[in-house]
Structure 1
Amino acid sequence: MSAPAPVIIVGGGIAGLSAALAAAPAPVLLLARASGSRGAASALAQGGIAAAIAPGDSPQAHARDTCVAGCFHNDPGIVDLLTANAADAVRWLQAIGVAFDREPDGSLQFCREGGHDRARIVHAGGDATGAKVMEALVAAARAATHIERRADVDVDGLVLRDGHVCGVCVSNPDGTGEVLHGRVVVLATGGLGGLFAQTSNPADADGNGLALALAAGAQPRDLEFVQFHPTALALPGLHSLPLVTEALRGAGGRLLDADGASLMDGMHPLADLAPRDIVARRVWQACRNGGAWLDAHKLGTAFPQRFPTVFQACMNHGLDPRVQPIPVTPAAHFHMGGIAVDADGRSSLPGLYAVGEVACNGVHGANRLASNSLLEGVVFGRRLGALLRTLPDGGQPRGSSRMVRRKPSLDAAQLDYLRALMMQAMGPMRSGDTLRAALDDCTELAASGWQGELARALVEAALRRGESLGAHFRMDRESDVLAQGSSPSPAW
């Protein structure tokens, strides 16, 4: 008797691991580019997890902040699913070993970040939340008998039979390739910050899963919305930049221009804690007029304990944030768009599911609220996993199938050019002329590699949206109300 076909999950970050664990007892084959938490953007996340569990808070208040940050481009029903399940997500993470930071009296410690009207963010290990959560998830996955993990493989194709996705094509470290069959395929491959010259993501967070889904004919959604974190450590010449967490501003840090004046006073009612798209544009402008800095020296001797990741990154580059302002710059951080999916992760292609940053179910709208990304991965990963465990095996594959593969990769010089192009045209501030010029270049690059094809799809989506909205800011539409940093405010 043959073994049952597994659920194939591509990606070893928080969303993929949460789905894999929740799929038990269905067999899962988890495929990742790197072993453990290496290479996963989730492990780099310094922000925490937003959850309305503090006294006086509510899922409705969390949902309101999520939609305000997203410029009400969000799907309200999906937002309600996220915020209503946040407390349960935190409890589940605690159950598998995540030790969230606590106050001296033993209660959970809540912090405030940009776009939130109150302190509702839980952290683990200060600014090392992503690493701590990944550590617990990886350990749980290794102990789970229903999960088989294969690392150091690259998924570069999908297998379709009668219009249904039923497997993947993989390239092994030794250069060999093989076809793996499964009952369904889940893409949990993360974002695409690696396509930009400056990113807070690992370099290989390059949109590979999204590109693969688009090549197979899956419908995309909201590709134009790319969030730039306003405060990455400004290190000229580096591609992947250390993040300077937003929680530093929640703890009293201030953004300053080259003259030492406040960047955000008078720009938004929340000042330094305004939604990320607004702060990122302001920092972007300052960087072109002498630079931008984050002054958090008031933390003093508490800095290394409260923000160990940022502290070490600064010290590694000769900066002591206890006494010096930190030079910062915007960096490509999170893709609100992706493969269009429903609340259960179903794409438009039967048999193909997506979850986490590669997917777009409408929860983030035009601009993600701080500390909703790890939450999204857990909530919708677990929701998808619950569905996966009910899917029938389907038996051994029969009949003819076809393979859809990505194009080869761009070479190093072409990729460097594309990253610079995307930073210029698809950065925090855009214009029709720059986007049209970039489209011509992307079309030329698309003939050589899949990254060019994906970049072209993003630029085309940006050109189709003529007005400014959230992270999509059109400098040639400055008269738009949204372009000035305001959000529409329908009755809630």
Structure 2
Amino acid sequence: MNRLAQGADAPVIVIGSGIAGLSAALALAPRPVLLLTRDGLGEGSSTALAQGGIAASVGPDDTAALHLADTIAAGDGLCDTGMATAILDQTPEVISMLARHGMTFDRDENGHIALGLEAAHSRRRILHARGDGTGAALVDALTAALRTCPSVTVLTGAEARRLTSADGRITGVTVLQDGRARHIAAACVVLATGGIGGLYEATTNPSDNYGAGLAMAARAGAALADMEFVQFHPTALATARQPLSLISEAVRGEGAILLNDLGQRFMADIPGAELAPRDVVARAIHAQITAGRRVFLDARTALGDRFATRFPGIAGLCADAGIDPARDLIPVCPAVHYHMGGVLTDARGRSSVPGLWAVGECASTGLHGANRLASNSLLEAGAMGMAAARDIRDQGAAQPLPQIAQSIAAADPAPVRALVSRHLGVLRDAKGLDAAIEALLPLAQSDSPAADPALVALSVAVFARLRQESRGAHARTDCPATLSASSRQQFTLPQILGLAHDLIAPETALIRSA
């Protein structure tokens, strides 16, 4: 068995190399950090695929208060206002950090930072780079900075599979590397493992992103929150490519409209039209497709020949599919894009388990509520990566205990995708959720390679079954109303498993309550 840096010299382990993990690792300097990544540095993350940009209230007509108001409105009553305020207040610090590490944002003809408009924003406040290549530019800048940071060691090709603990505190990570299990001791662990889009057949996320950090945290005893809220991006490019390519919301922000194959602009009479909140637009497109219609994004009038200049990456993706956005309609469909749920954390990124922090999409801070406001996620990831680093530095070092590597196989989300896509999609109902719970529960409790993906999917299903209303990204056809009083849900793994058993065997719940 191989080990790295045992005892008092053990590093902080950061798992993931998107913006959250990279920001945390850089901000921890000069504290020794071991950054684990399943792929190459900066690869395999949703950050690298991000087209739209970073929401930041830096325009002359904008304020942090307006940004907060838009965030809360999009969150549909479930945002944690205190957390949202704290995170959005860090906007200048995040932008400064990115600039310090070499990030350059696009500017207009007058030399000012160019600001884009996206859905549910009341102001133009989206900072972007390389047109629609913001995520790739971010990753390039931060990975370049990381390679020159002497306090960070990077271990690539390492799939983190289990957290280890002693005396109730996280002490290390079991990873798979070259097919062999290996334990690595840690002073503490920062999860920055991304979302759960890989559980679905239609997603814009890397297909391996099934929620590994959530499964590890849950098995280690951490509470999960808001798992039912899965955001579908309305406009993925409807081709056979996997994962699906994204057609950024910024295209609609520049005036592109949605049409069905009858030429009808079906969003015209909906408040906000094409720039309504994402859940509203996604459900409208889903309804069209369910009714047998095809849906297209029409940028011919709004952008025309300017499309390739403003959105070079998207233009290339369209060209690969034989589409010229300046002259052709772009076929689109909803696809899983972002998960508002995750490991419950506080303002410092701490989970409910000592020694474990979570940042970025794998965390649930309460910023997004029931529905993420477009482009708030990169801002949150940068802010919380730095917040966690500050907290860890302030705490000083902990001495981990050596552990034996557990025997474990690589995870495989493929067996659950069809089930998850069918029952945990844009629209849900009790019958489908119960079917999902019944099928996922035994798989989540098995030793199968699909056990961890099934556990994450089961959590989504249980949370969704218990929320008997429609709110934000969670839409129940059998519970269409939004309740006047509602709150965030949070459960640990034993609670989730117990609730799952009770939901599929109500007589058990009656016996327990007797």
Shorter-chain TM range is over 0.9
The alpha carbon displacement at 1:283 in A equals: 0.9
Distance 2:244 2:216 in 1: 26
The alpha carbon displacement at 1:479 in A equals: 4.2
Q: Which residue of 2 aligns with 1:337?
A: 341
Q: Which residue of 2 aligns with 1:223?
A: 227
Moved more, 134-143 or 94-103: 94-103
The alpha carbon displacement at 1:58 in A equals: 0.4
The alpha carbon displacement at 1:84 in A equals: 1.4
1:41 to 36, 42, 46: 46
The alpha carbon displacement at 1:373 in A equals: 0.8
Look up the equivalent residue of 2:69 and give its one-letter code: R
The alpha carbon displacement at 1:481 in A equals: 7.5
Contact 1:60 1:83 (C-alpha < 8 Å) held by counterparts: no
For residues 362-401 of structure 1, the aligned pairs below 5 Å read: 362-395=366-399, 397-398=400-401
Residue by residue over 1:47-88, the C-alpha shift from the partner in whole angstroms, topping out at 9 and shown as x without a partner, is 110111100210010000001001020100111112211122
For residues 109-120 of structure 1, the aligned pairs below 5 Å read: 109-120=114-125
Is the aligned partner of 1:167 residue 2:172?
yes
Distance 2:33 2:481 in 1: 51
1:262 to 262, 265, 283: 265
The alpha carbon displacement at 1:293 in A equals: 0.6
Distance 1:286 1:248 in 2: 20
Q: Give the 4+ runs in structure 1 shifted more than 6 A.
A: 402-407
CA gap of 1:387–1:477, structure 2 versus 1, over 3 A, is same
SS in 1 for 2:435: helix
Is the aligned partner of 1:421 residue 2:428?
no
TM-score of the two chains, using structure 2 as the length reference: 0.89
Contact 2:197 2:337 (C-alpha < 8 Å) held by counterparts: yes
The alpha carbon displacement at 1:480 in A equals: 4.0
The alpha carbon displacement at 1:166 in A equals: 1.0
The alpha carbon displacement at 1:403 in A equals: 7.0
Contact 2:8 2:397 (C-alpha < 8 Å) held by counterparts: no
2:331 to 307, 319, 327: 327
Look up the equivalent residue of 1:199 and give its one-letter code: T
RMSD of equivalent CA atoms:
1.8
Contact 2:344 2:364 (C-alpha < 8 Å) held by counterparts: yes
For residues 271-420 of structure 1, the aligned pairs below 5 Å read: 271-288=273-290, 289-298=292-301, 299-395=303-399, 397-398=400-401, 409-410=411-412, 415-420=413-418
Distance 2:394 2:406 in 1: 27
Q: Which residue of 2 aligns with 1:210?
A: 214
Residue by residue over 1:285-325, the C-alpha shift from the partner in whole angstroms, topping out at 9 and shown as x without a partner, is 11222111100112122111110111000000111111011
Q: Which residue of 1 aligns with 2:256?
A: 253
Q: Which residue of 2 aligns with 1:485?
A: none
Is the aligned partner of 1:154 residue 2:156?
no
Contact 2:228 2:474 (C-alpha < 8 Å) held by counterparts: yes
Is the aligned partner of 1:74 residue 2:79?
yes
Distance 2:421 2:180 in 1: 35
Distance 1:140 1:430 in 2: 44
Distance 2:269 2:180 in 1: 58
Q: Which runs of 5+ in 1 are unaligned?
A: 483-492
SS in 2 for 1:475: coil
For residues 11-26 of structure 1, the aligned pairs below 5 Å read: 11-26=16-31
Distance 1:4 1:441 in 2: 44
CA gap of 1:300–1:337, structure 2 versus 1, over 3 A, is same
Q: Which residue of 2 aligns with 1:101?
A: 106
Look up the equivalent residue of 1:423 and give its one-letter code: S
The alpha carbon displacement at 1:99 in A equals: 1.2
Distance 2:220 2:406 in 1: 6
Equivalent residue pairs, number: 473
CA gap of 1:453–1:334, structure 2 versus 1, over 3 A, is same
Contact 2:91 2:383 (C-alpha < 8 Å) held by counterparts: yes
Is the aligned partner of 1:130 residue 2:132?
no
Distance 1:148 1:367 in 2: 36
Look up the equivalent residue of 1:64 and give its one-letter code: A
Distance 1:313 1:403 in 2: 43
The alpha carbon displacement at 1:405 in A equals: 7.9
Look up the equivalent residue of 1:409 and give its one-letter code: A
CA gap of 1:180–1:417, structure 2 versus 1, over 3 A, is closer
Q: Which residue of 2 aligns with 1:121?
A: 126
CA gap of 1:281–1:407, structure 2 versus 1, over 3 A, is farther
Distance 1:408 1:5 in 2: 25
Distance 1:433 1:374 in 2: 36
Contact 1:467 1:480 (C-alpha < 8 Å) held by counterparts: yes
Contact 2:470 2:481 (C-alpha < 8 Å) held by counterparts: no
Distance 1:275 1:63 in 2: 15
Look up the equivalent residue of 1:440 and give its one-letter code: E
Distance 1:276 1:405 in 2: 42
Percent identity between matched residues is: 43
Distance 1:406 1:426 in 2: 28
Look up the equivalent residue of 1:198 and give its one-letter code: A
The alpha carbon displacement at 1:129 in A equals: 0.3
Look up the equivalent residue of 1:192 and give its one-letter code: I
Residue by residue over 1:242-281, the C-alpha shift from the partner in whole angstroms, topping out at 9 and shown as x without a partner, is 000000000000011121111211122x110011011111
1:87 to 89, 92, 102: 92
Is the aligned partner of 1:455 residue 2:453?
no
Distance 1:180 1:362 in 2: 31
Distance 2:75 2:197 in 1: 19
SS in 2 for 1:329: strand
SS in 2 for 1:343: coil
Distance 2:186 2:453 in 1: 27
Contact 2:238 2:331 (C-alpha < 8 Å) held by counterparts: yes
1:465 to 440, 464, 467: 467
CA gap of 1:409–1:33, structure 2 versus 1, over 3 A, is closer
The alpha carbon displacement at 1:394 in A equals: 2.6
Contact 1:157 1:403 (C-alpha < 8 Å) held by counterparts: no
The alpha carbon displacement at 1:421 in A equals: 1.6
Contact 2:181 2:405 (C-alpha < 8 Å) held by counterparts: no
